[in-house]
Structure 1
Amino acid sequence: MRINCIKKNVFFLLFLACTTGIIAQKTTFNATDNADFYKATELYNNKAYAAAQKLFVKTSKESEPHKNIKADADYYDAMCAIKLVQDDANDKVLSFVENHPYSNKKEKAYLNVGNYYFSNRKAAHALKWYQKVNDKLLNQEEKNELNYKIGYCLLVSNYLKDAKERFKMLLGNPIYGNDARYFYGYIAYKQENFGEAEDNLSQLANDATYQAKANYYILDISFKAGRFDKSVQIGEKLLNTSKDKKEVSQISKIIGESYFNLKQYDKAIPYLTKYRGTKGKWTNTDYYYLGYAYYKKGNYETAIKNFNKIIGGTNKVAQNAYYHLGECYLRLDKKAEALNAFKNASEMDFDPKITEGSWLNYAKLSYDQGNPYKSVPEVLKEYLAKYPLSPENSEISELLITSYLHQRDYVGALEYLNSNKKNPENEKLANEVSLYRGIQLFNEQKLNEAKPYFFNATKAENAITVNKANYWLAETEYLLGNYDTSLTQFLLVTDDSSVSFNQLDYNIGYTFFKLKKYSDAANHFQQFLDKKNDNNDLNDDASNRLGDAFYATKKYNKAIAAYNKVIQEGGTGADYAQYQTAMSYGFLGKSDDKIENLRKISNSYEDSQLKDDALFQLGNTYTTTGSVPKAQAAYNRILTKHPKSSYAPSVLLRQGLLYYNNNNNNKALQKYKAVVAKYPNSNEAKQAVTNVKNVYIDIGKVDEYASWVKNVKFVNVSNAELDNATYQSAENKFLENNTNKAIEGFTNYLQRFPNGVNALKAHFYLAQSLNKIKKGTAAKPHYEYVAAQSKNEFTEESLAKLGQIYLDNDDWKNGIRILQQLEKEANYPQNIIFAQSNLMKGYYNDNKYSDAITYAEKVLSNGKIDNSVIEDAKIIIARASLKTDDYQTAEEFFIEVNKKATGKLKAECLFYNAFFLNDHKEYDESNKAIQNLIANYSNYKYWGVKSYIIMAKNHYALKDAYQATYILENIIKNFTQYKDVIEEAKNELRTIKNKEAKTNESVTKQN
């Protein structure tokens, strides 16, 4: 813009100069000598160059050599060629000089050609001809003009140094002095020799032609020299007179930046906003100045809008902008956004102080808010490695340890503490952290791995930590079956209020019970009950176990009193208490009371799993008291109401015995034969065969027995003793816990007697032995054999073990099959819960979400189940409902699960909390939920990264496209391991960019 104005002004001046002086000279001649030449010159003076040229050429040809008229004709021929822009014009001029070296028109020719190109604004061409002129042949006036024109041509051709020398010779000239001084000052300005430029330009302050332009350059010089007060003074005067929009824009920029440098930000803002940019666009620096000015005035929202426009900058200005952008976000308590800005600034090294400050803020915000891109400990360790001498190191080190604990990354905490043992405090803290790592492993059911951590924690100096460590070590040993060691550890706990479960006596009682030290067990169960805990389920269980301890020591009256407490309160396990009360009365010889209590179980407890047990004992008791019809009725109820009961073969055998004792041999035979037919692999079947034999002997029909027994596969009269001996040998090894020999013995038995009388037991005990040494695959066919037989005493346990083996191998197809069978045939509540809880998982894994929900609801309807199973059921319902687009149910159950969730599950719940808040258009609340997830559960990276997509959606919905795109771009860049998340991020980013492209405004409109 500046050069164009200069050119326009100078060419106007030069055009005036070209029309006077040198080119206006006329040639004199004798008209009588050549009429054509006279006519040609007249045409030339009238600018009829083409017609004149023809006559000049004719004259030259007809004139004698070495005559002035020929030289003049050649001269004008060349001049006409120049005027007519002919291709050979330059050649004609050079030819004229060569052919007429002594012509007085030679210098005029050079000058005229130069002036012609000069007047036509062809500086390079003009300069070429001016440089041929011998200025010694010119007078002073002509020399001044030539110097001026050469100086300008050199200026236009960017030969500033040479041009400056030409203008220097004219600084005091009355004609060219002001022009020369302007250009001289301008060249000094371009050479950044601001002192010399200002000295010369300031002398033109009152010159009408150059005043405005000189003042503009003086303004710019003052600004660059740091004289901002003077810049403001000159600039504001120029604005009052300038009408050119571009000039006004540029002057406003200089005034605004001058006020900025004077730290008068309120005065800077109006001028900075008047700047229109270069071709309507602002640079990053322009946005930085305006953003920083608003920042200093406390207008953080507007500052953010300007800083956010510095997109993709990779220089010192951009780094500063991102740093101050972070500060603005902090002032507005937008810490997640601030983290992104400081991260950006920390990744640049243009200003080391800004880099370090950004790193510190980035590290602290990562600790405070969590970090979606890296784990918080990783960020803090990077800071410590990058700035090992920072005065902030002590604080950051403390934050690092706390962050490990906060994120529940106890492995990382221990690694860091153990690698920095020079600090004695670290060693002390490591013992305490070991406790939390142990609990973490305990909750993951990795008991053997948890033990050494608990043991290390017992070495802590803190008494509370030691108590907790002993408590959890005792729990671990108990679950591993090491009851003596468990008891030792429990007894080391000196303050049960320090442990999280306030049930120390309860656990000690159970441990004594497992060690068959029933009196000690009873004492501790009673102590637990005396503390009147709020947990009714534990109280009920403790009362039942207290009763069991008395029962085991034959203190039946005390047992009854303990059981009655549960019965009267209708607590969990009341049916069991009723049953045990009945059995206690039986041992006290009170058959009527026993019968009464047994009948209550059958009549009062609809869902009790002990109904068939009660009926069986009722039948036995009636038998003992001689009430045979009532005994038969009780036994028949088992067969009709509980046909799959494990008591069925024994019931049939007892019924047969009752008939036999009443001399009803036919009915006795029916019952005995039913046992053999329906339950051929049961112990009762062997007894039934013997009883059938005895009946036939009594009625004298031994031949019928022989005919019948031939069809009984498991009976081989000749091999019976060998069968039993072979089996007994293997069973003895099993009972001696000699597992390998037992496996060898049972395998040998089944090879020799595949359909032997002991085949069922052999298959079961072989499976148990193989499973014990972790050979579940080898155990499977033996458990399958037992499960395929008619219901027997081993059916339920075989199904449970078989189901677990399939689950351990992720064989859900067979697992579901076995679990379905277990659910139908199980008597023990824990096996029913095991089946149902795993069926809900199996159906979920098989994408059968409705079935999964059905079984999860079954699990939740059960009164007595572990909290872990309850939480599993709730999360299955939440996830399955989400899969079936039942968002309302999904949200309800995610909220429920979130109340007790920890670790990875907690991270998932927080993600869906943010998800549903976004769905409800509660964008700020959704972001808060995400910040909670990132701050507290960043170890679970998948959910953190996935939640950041929701945060991007939230920001876009809140009209912050910069944050939205920045987050999505960072996800795509940093988390390629999560393909599903990357794909979602790319789709979201594409959507945002497409929308923004439709609504984007120009910078000019924005300002």
Structure 2
Amino acid sequence: MLCHLIPIIKKIFAIYIPPMFKYFTIIFFAIFAFSSNIEAQETFELSDPDAAFKSAKQFYQQDQFSLAFPIFKRLFNNGIKQSNMPFQIMADAQYYYIVCGLQLDEKGATEMAKTFIALDNHLAHTQMVSFYLGEYYYQRKAYNDALAYYAKCNIANLNNRQIATMKFHQAYSYFVNKDFAKAKPLFNAIRQLPADPNYVDANYYFGFLAFNDQAYNTAIECFLIAESHPDYQNVVPFYLTELYYFSGNREKALTYGENAIKKNGQYYDLQLKQLVGHLLFEKRAFDKALPYLEAYVAASEKVRREDLYELSYCYYEAKNWSKAIQGFKQIGGSLDSLEQNSMYLLADAYLKTNDLQNARNAFQFCAANNSNKVQKEVSSFHYAKLSYELGYFDIAVKGFQQFIANYKGSDYTNEAKELLVSTLANTNSFKDALTLYESLPNKSANATALLPRLLYGRTVELINDQKLDGAELLLDRILVTPNNTLQLPFVYFWKGELSYRAGKMDDAIQFLSQYLKSPVRNGEVNPINARYNLAYAYLKKELYKPAKEQFELVNKNPQSALNNVEKDAVIRAADCWFMLKEYRAATNLYDQIIQLKWTSADYATYQKAIIAGATNNQLQKLSLLQSIPDIYPQSNLIAQARLEIANTYLADEAFEKAIAPLQALLNQKEAAALYPIAYQKMGIAYFNLNNNEASLTQFKELVSKYPNSAEAESSVEYIRNIFIDQQAPLAFISFMEANGKKIAGNEADSLTYKSAMIRFELKDNLGAEAGFKAYIENFSKGKYAVEANYFLAEINLVQKKNKEALNYYKAVAALSPNKYAERAALQAGRIYYFDYQDYTNAATYYLLLKTIALQQENKLEAMRGLLRCQFKTQQFEQASPNAAELLLQKGIATDDRLMAGFVIAKNDQLNKKNQQALQGYQSLLTLGKSEITAESQYRIAELLLQLGKLDEAEKASFEVIKKYGSYTYWVTKSYLLVGDIYLNQKDYFNAEATFKSVAENAEMDELKKEAAAKLAIVIAEKEKNNKVQ
């Protein structure tokens, strides 16, 4: 335990001044009324000035200045008027007149005195007036003036009393002016005259000067003399206690100080308690020291760090942990031994109260201090250990690494190494854990056994963050890593899932089937999801029987379906029955779906209509299709149902009836992707009704608006026949060429394209690429320009030349709608998003895809891609409607729900809808660990802080720190938020510890700077509010 010598002596000038020197009061005697009138008096003074002078002088000698003054004044004035006034009487009268005037503070007396001193040739009188003028100024505390006139006075003209008085007054004036060298001998002269009225005072002040010169014994002698006087009896005991202390007589100081306190009424009572408390502390009598130090600190606005330390230590020894903590935590900030010892004891006090969080912070401060190497070592270890126990695994890892490197021979080294491995086992910061694992020079068996878990944890993070290529690499690594038995089922599941997402259906079937041999359950990884994905993989390969079996294993009974996956499995099982031409089984399931009023009831109705058509029941088919817009007015299948109605009528050659549903389809804004086929069907219907004008109008709309569509290409023959029937072949040529459909030169165009296509079909990609490029060079707007650009894009994509592929996909998308525009827009969006992180251009193509997509999967990807682009560019207001629309889609994945929900919550927060935003963020936390859920948890804490719910905000912040260790930015932001919470709670100790840690350890400069700025604010607030000077 550290002990500190306390320099208690006060500044020599802040001493106690006794009442007799604080105020100088001159008591004026009443001026007696003379029995005779003024004229008689004046006659007397004129007739016998010598007698009058003697009478006044007698009053003067008796110190009756108020009686002497008027006589001397008249004698002096009359002497000026009367030539018969003896000169000596007039001169003496002037002298006494001035002296009495000074004594009585008469107006003009000082000026007369100064003139007298300047002009009078009577040396004795001049020096005496100087003495009295010095006294005059001394009594008015004009000490410089007093000293100036004392200097003009010769003691030869003063009596002993006056000499002693002047010496004391000179000494005091020098003392006040801090000219101690001149004051000291004068005080010394008077202090040796016991009979002198200033004897006690002289000893008092000389005692101070001796104290200042560290002549402690002399100072003690002087103060003992002063102690006997009532003016000093309640002042001197403090000085004597100090003197005994500094002279080494601590026992005497303690006894004397305690006795003085018991007397009560001490002027320096607090300082006495401070000193006595310190003396008892030095004797390790902590229980006795406590009340003295406690009284001193409680009554003082600010105290020295040493005093607060001693009081806190007394509380510590008394096991009064809460008060010890309150004191110790205010002593930090100086990086000296006192701070380090305080933090060390503070940490122990917190441990005694089981407050591990605050103990950790105290060890942090202690470990940052180099004053005591042993305490630094112990604190460094315990800071890391408590970080581990409290779940701050990122900090624990760094702490243990630094400890092992810095204290190789420490008694704690082996435990630190074991805890480091345990930290890896418990961490949620898989990214940092893997980095640490790779950096270990000697990987123990325990550490090696942890590798598969770390690899898998990081894999899941990458999947949730949509970094699928990196996830694939780690999954493959787990497959060949020893000790992977527990992770293998999870690996098979995710390999199957990622293969399915990548369109590798054979691989998906292989891995998902492998998983189902030994299934495990954890969140998304479960047999239901595996069978669901496996069923879809079979479905995409048109293997309907095994697909149906897997869908039925997910759920085969519509009545028991609980969620969207189970409901979708029932629908797809019905679809498989349909594709297997088991119409009765399919219809049974579709009927149940309709009866249960699922959101997919419109689809079941549509499928029942198709089955009716397949079984030649056209009336039922039409009835079912026509019911969809009425029963399901919000259905996405209305346009498709209308097209199918038209197709049914066209197949039955009821051309007139086909026109109405097609016209209705063309009036649907959301059905724009079907407009080309609707125009074509309308044209065919009118053509077969021999209404060539109306037919040509529809075909013109088709070719002019959608010149690159497959429908425009396949409608050329109808258009040609109409123009020929109208005997206008030249008009036909002009119309087609005006819309990019050249008639002349088609042979060269076709031959060039077909030559390249042959090479493509033979999988001669180099030959095909050269051929398609030649076609574009010669026929940039040719008949097959769309196809040539598309196949060039595909060839370059296979060769992983994505930059070149992008240009060709863009050319195809620019000519949409066409047969390949949907895939072109999809691939252009993907390349911009994943390869270039150009989210603005990616959004353009995802938006196009959303408009033209006919495949539901592509439409979903368009919505997902657009949402992610808007998310990346922070366009939350624009993204919110898209997110809401995505959430209504069937079959969306968890990551879709996560991002869409986040966008809506973030938009609510930006619009100050804090309660809605809070609920939105909270709903996302069950959707897996990802960067989005890390930010969501942070935003929850941020909102709770804004709502003033500090305890809840603190808890939410620590959730980020403990559960989302791989997301460094949000972990660091959460530490900053915790610091803000502590600052709001006026917990300056923990706020300082938090911001200090971030400022020293943050990886990002912007966050380091933010932490440093906040740290400065906390320190300033702490200094304003704590007890320490």
For normalisation by structure 2, the TM-score amounts to 0.69
Residue number among 467, 475, 490 corresponding to 1:454 in the alignment: 475
1:378 is aligned to 2:398 = yes
1:40-80 C-alpha deviation (Å, 9 max, x unpaired): xxxxxxxxxx999xxxxxxxxxxxxxxxxxxxxxxxxxxxx
User: Equivalents in 2 of 1:120, 1:707: separation in Å?
Assistant: 128
CA-to-aligned-CA distance 1:307-339 (integer Å, 9 cap, x gap):
133233333332111112223344455544332
1:598 and 2:625 matched: yes
Report if the CA contact (8 A) 1:219-1:234 is conserved: no
- The one-character-per-residue Cα deviations of 1:809-838 (angstroms, maximum 9, x if unpaired) are 454554555454444444444445544555
1:870 equivalent in alignment to 2:897: yes
Partners of 2:816 and 2:456 in 1: CA distance = 49
**Distance across 2 between alignment mates of 1:949 and 1:264:** 43
Find the counterpart in structure 1 of residue 752 from structure 2: 726
**Cα distance, 1:754–1:457 mapped onto 2, change above 3 Å:** closer
Determine if the alignment matches structure 1 residue 709 to structure 2 residue 733: yes
Q: Determine which of 777, 780, 789 is the counterpart of 1:763.
A: 789
Alpha-carbon distance in 2 for matches of 1:855, 1:538 = 22
- Measure, in 1, the Cα distance between the counterparts of 2:443 and 2:828: 53
* Match in the other structure for 1:284: 305
Q: Please name the residue that 1:133 is paired with.
A: none
Deviation at 1:644, TM superposition (A): 5.7
Match of 1:746 among 772, 779, 797: 772
Q: Does 1:489 align with 2:515?
A: no
Q: Is the 8 A contact 2:629 2:638 kept in 1?
A: yes
Contact 1:660 1:668 in 2 (8 A): yes
User: Which residue of 2 is the match for residue 681 of structure 1?
Assistant: 708
Amino acid at match of 2:346: L
C-alpha distance 389-517 of structure 1, shift in aligned 2 (>3 A)? farther
Instruction: Tell me by how many angstroms 1:303 deviates.
Output: 1.8
Q: Aligned to 1:498, which of 514, 521, 537?
A: 521
- Equivalent residue number for residue 13 of structure 1: none
Residue of structure 1 in register with 2:429 after alignment: 409
Q: 2:692 & 2:331 partners in 1: Cα distance?
A: 103
SS in 2 for 1:309: coil
2:547 is equivalent to residue 536 of structure 1: no
How is 1:325-336 mapped onto 2 (pairs within 5 angstroms)? Answer: 325-332=346-353, 334-336=355-357
Structure 1 distance, partners of 2:469, 2:877, is 38
Show the counterpart of 2:499.
477
Q: Which residue does the alignment assign to 1:617?
A: 644
Counterpart of 2:379 in structure 1 is 358
- 1:324–1:824: structure 2 CA closer, same or farther, 3 Å change rule? same
Q: 1:952 to 1:987 in 2, by over 3 A?
A: closer
Cα deviation, 1:170-215, whole Å, max 9, x if unaligned, reads xxxxxxxxx9xx78999xxxxxxxxxxxxxxxxxxxxxxx999999
After superposition, give the CA deviation of every residue in 1:86-127 in whole Å (9 maximum; x if it has no partner): xxxxxxxxxxxxxxxxxxxxxxxxxxxxxxx9999569x99x
Alpha-carbon distance in structure 1 between the residues aligned to 2:799 and 2:355: 58
Does the C-alpha gap of structure 1 residues 630 and 860 become closer, same or farther in structure 2, counting only changes over 3 Å?
A: same
Cα distance, 1:677 vs structure 2: 4.0
CA distance in 2, matches of 1:511, 1:709: 48
Aligned residue type for 1:465? Q
Q: CA deviation at 1:341?
A: 1.6
Residue 66 of structure 1: aligned partner: none
Does 1:628 find its partner at 2:655? yes
Letter in 2 for 1:800: L
Structure 2 counterparts to residues 227-306 of structure 1, below 5 A: 236=258, 252=273, 255-257=276-278, 259-260=280-281, 265-273=286-294, 282-306=303-327
Name the aligned partner's letter for residue 755 of structure 2: S
Determine if the alignment matches structure 1 residue 432 to structure 2 residue 453: yes
Change (3 A) 1:626 1:376: same
Q: 1:121 to 1:403 in 2, by over 3 A?
A: same
State the alpha-carbon separation in 2 of the partners of residues 779 and 982 from structure 1: 44
| Distance in 2 between residues matched to 1:973 and 1:420, nearest whole Å | 26
Give, in angstroms, the shift of residue 366 of structure 1.
1.6
TM-aligned CA distance change 1:711 to 1:489, over 3 Å: closer
Question: Are the equivalent residues in 2 in contact too, given 1:434–1:457 (CA < 8 A)?
Answer: yes
Aligned to 1:423: 444
Label 1:259 to 1:159 Cα distance change in 2 as closer, same or farther (>3 A): closer
Count of aligned pairs: 824
Deviations 1:883-906 (A, max 9, x none): 344434333323333443624333
Tell me the amino acid that sits aligned with residue 409 of structure 1: S
RMSD: 4.9
User: CA offset at residue 290 of structure 1?
Assistant: 1.0
Counterpart contact for 1:370–1:938, Cα < 8 Å: no
Which of 792, 801, 810 lines up with 2:827 in the alignment?
Answer: 801
Change (3 A) 1:119 1:943: closer
Post-superposition CA distance 1:659-691 (Å, at most 9, x none): 555555555555555544444333443443333
* Code of the aligned partner of 1:691: Y
1:791 aligns to what? 817
Which residue identity lines up with residue 709 of structure 1 in the other structure?
Answer: I
Report the Cα distance in structure 2 between the residues aligned to 1:280 and 1:428, rounded to whole angstroms. 59
Out of 320, 325, 339, the residue aligned to residue 360 of structure 2 is 339
Spell out, residue by residue over 1:957-989, the C-alpha distance to the aligned partner (whole angstroms, 9 max, x if none): 433344445544554555484436735862684
**Which amino acid letter does the alignment assign opposite residue 955 of structure 1?**
Y
CA deviation profile, 1:429-461 (whole Å, cap 9, x unmatched): 222332222223333333343334334444555
Asked whether the 8 Å contact 1:612–1:642 carries over to 2, the reply is no
Q: Taking structure 1 as reference, are residues 925 and 268 closer, same or farther at Cα in structure 2, changes over 3 Å only? A: farther
The residue that corresponds to 1:313 in the other structure is 334
Question: Per-residue deviation at 1:399?
Answer: 4.0
- Distance (whole Å) between structure 2 residues aligned to residue 280 and residue 754 of structure 1: 89
Structure 1's 488 and 611: CA in aligned 2 closer, same or farther, altered over 3 A?
A: same
Please state how far the C-alpha of 1:629 moved relative to its aligned partner: 2.9
SS of residue matched to 2:539: helix
Partner of 1:194: none
1:184 and 1:996 map into 2 onto residues whose CA distance is 38
Q: Which position in structure 2 is the counterpart of 1:107?
A: none
Question: Structure 1's 274 and 653: CA in aligned 2 closer, same or farther, altered over 3 A?
Answer: closer
| Cα separation, 2, equivalents of 1:334 and 1:884 | 39
Q: Is the 8 A contact 2:655 2:688 kept in 1?
A: no
Does 1:891 pair with 2:915?
A: no
Deviations 1:356-415 (A, max 9, x none): 33223211222234559x733111222333344555555544543444455433244345
* CA 1:860–1:332: 2 relative to 1, 3 Å: farther
Q: Distance in 2 between matches of 1:3 and 1:479?
A: 81
Query: Are the structure 2 counterparts of residues 330 and 904 from structure 1 closer, same or farther at C-alpha, using a change threshold of 3 Å?
Result: farther
Q: 2-side partners of 1:121 and 1:675: how far apart?
A: 118
Amino acid in structure 1 at the alignment position of 2:939: Y
The answer to whether the Cα contact below 8 Å between 2:237 and 2:256 also exists between their aligned partners in 1 is: no
Tell me if the contact between 1:223 and 1:258 (Cα under 8 Å) persists in the aligned partners: no
Q: Which amino acid aligns with 2:825?
A: L
The equivalent of 1:38 in structure 2 is: none
* 1:628 partner amino acid: F
Task: Decide whether the 8 Å contact of 1:447 with 1:480 is kept in 2.
Answer: no
Quick one: distance in 1 between partners of 2:498 and 2:735?
Answer: 53
Q: Distance in 2 between matches of 1:654 and 1:731?
A: 30
Q: 1:344–1:685: structure 2 CA closer, same or farther, 3 Å change rule?
A: closer
Rounded Cα–Cα distance in structure 1 between residues aligned with 2:669 and 2:428: 50
1:366, 1:935 within 8 Å by CA — same for their partners in 2? no
CA distance in 2, matches of 1:399, 1:992: 34
Query: What are the ranges of 5 or more consecutive residues in structure 1 without an aligned counterpart?
Result: 9-49, 53-82, 86-116, 127-151, 164-178, 187-209
Contact 1:882 1:890 in 2 (8 A): yes
Please say if 1:465 is aligned against 2:487.
yes
